[in-house]
Chains A and B, each alone.
Chain A
Amino acid sequence: MRILIARLVVVVTGLLIVMLAILFATIRNVSDDSRTAAPDRVVTAPKADVAPAKGDVARGRAVYIEQRCAMCHSIDGEGNTRSPLDDVSRRLTEKEIRRWIVAPQEMDPTVAKRGYRLSEEDLDALVTYLMSKRSP
């Protein structure tokens, strides 16, 4: 009897957690769609007739999100605040930012970061986006 109840509580606990986690993920992504719909549209924009301008800030933002830069970096307090990028354009030149993205070990051999392989357009857009960020 007690074993049955114990097992029931084990299963219920597991199910409740998975259900709540799914609820959490669903709610977050529904509201995100309405709140930041613009970058999403820009991501799909290249399929349109008009190619985005070189170094499009909105596209750069989309690349930033797509590559999950926010896992280790933050901008405007969003993301991992351990390594903020708000004033990166003051600290680094455009060329340095580029190196940090595609070949970070050339900038610092000890850094724990992989080099990102991006298309020329995406890289331009991302760098433009980062250069556009300046803390007030």
Chain B
Amino acid sequence: MHLVRAAFWIAVYLGLVLAPLFALLIGTTQANAGFWWDLSIALGFAGTAMMGAQFMLTARFKRAMAPFGIDIIYYFHRYVAVVALGIILAHPIILASDSPAILGFLNPLRAPWHMTAGLASILALMALMVTSWWRKGLGLHYDAWRRWHSALAIAALGLALAHIGGVSHYVAAPWKRALWSAIGVSWLGVIVYVRVAKPWQMLRRPYDVVDVRPERGDAWTVAVHPRGHQGFRYHPGQFAWLTLRAHPAAMREHPFSMSSSPAPSGRLEFTIKELGDFTSTIKNVRSGETAYVDGPYGAFTIDRHHAPGYVFIAGGIGIAPLMGMLRALAERGDPRPIILFYAYRRWERLTFREAIENLRSRIGMHVVYVLEEPPEGWDGETGRIDARVLSRHLPADRRSLHYFICGPEAMTRAVERALYGLGVPLGRLHAELFDLV
């Protein structure tokens, strides 16, 4: 990780979230409110700032995201939201236990409008959390969920700002009003950037679908080619948000890894497994259709980690970004030793089986397939990728190698733990979190 830049952007985030608290510290109006009252107000302001910062986290600012990899930013967005909700809930709970009279404001018929706005903001936030953490359990379609997520998030923030403006005495000073207006406008700016400016940019840089071909294991490879522009440069292993059969502003984009190696023509290939509502429709896409691509993103690439050799560990469709890296290594004629561990359920469904065999002979890599349901007469590894399988195939100098792991979250965690147990330093383990929601 680019430590200095990473530390800088973490400091920027903390600054954004903590700024309103410092603004509060400098002179307020209401006298003798009491410790709990003031604590509650401070938490309310900080919680609102955290809500605003959530928009920045998912705005995909390339420069700020680069040191981390955007997948981890989404992970952070998801977990810091829990802290934000806790802080925001603490605001009315502390107030109500300090002065129970506040509970009267729960009745919208009798409460001032700005109190109802605050209550509605919290309800919107709770709805956001429930629909995000339990989206699949609730049977929510990804596209529908994204639209609701945006709408609820904007509503929650807008209502919180209305609440602050309505209560008004903490922002009564003109400079505070100006500060909060500026903060509000910058959040609005981010929303406009993401929802209007960015789709407009994408609209001007369309792609043509040039190939849709089936792969083993219910997967499809979609190839796109830039129409009238150069496309973008990327590092093998990175990913992009792909829009098919929709307008870029329609929020029907989905993140997929490039399974191709970077090509001068700008051509990109995405290999997508049929897993959900959208991925099951990939097979209906035809050559000649228009696609939009927002990328590249991600820090999951060999180009950022120089090592005497690489180990790739894939579970299922997690092979896609690793394939991009393997292909790039082959094209560059890279002489460094490469080991690929690839876990799948069944041999005949192994995505990229032929392509991997082809690469194996070209770059002389060591391939270890680990099958859960091996066919008759299989003499390779079986079960799951664990410490025993890894130690059987890793060389003695395994501590100096870099490891790229991509697969279901449970597998990724188990492999990381096993490698750490085998003495590989954490800094040499790189994992892609592709289950963003």
Query: What residues of chain A have their CB less than 8 Å away from a CB belonging to chain B?
Result: 1-7, 9-14, 16-18, 20-29, 32, 35-36, 39-40, 65, 67-68, 70-72, 74, 77-82, 112-114
Contacts and interface: CB of A to CB of B under 8 A. Distances in A.
The SS class assigned to the A binding surface is: helix
B190 interface: no
Say whether chain B's binding surface is mostly helix, strand, loop, or mixed.
Answer: helix
Candidate in B75, B76, B431 with the most chain A CB atoms within 10 angstroms? B76
A18 B167 CA distance: 22
B32 A21 contact: no
Contacts of A82: 166, 168
Contact of B79 (A7, A23, A65, A79): A7
B167 A80 contact: yes
Contact of A35 (B31, B76, B427): B31
A1 B30 CA distance: 46
Interface string B23-37: 011001111111111
B39 to A, nearest CB: 4
Interface residues of B, number: 55
Contacts of A40: 32
Q: Which has the most chain A C-beta neighbours within 10 Å: B29, B68, B299? A: B29
A6 to B, nearest CB: 5
Interface in B363-422: none
Most chain A beta-carbon contacts within 10 A, residue among B31, B80, B99, B109: B31
Contact of A114 (B1, B38, B101): B101
Contacts of A18: 43, 87
A25 B31 contact: no
Contact of A10 (B32, B69, B80): B80
B126 interface: no
Contact of A25 (B36, B76, B112): B36
B83 A14 contact: yes
B46 interface: yes
Contacts of A11: 83
B129 to A, nearest CB: 15
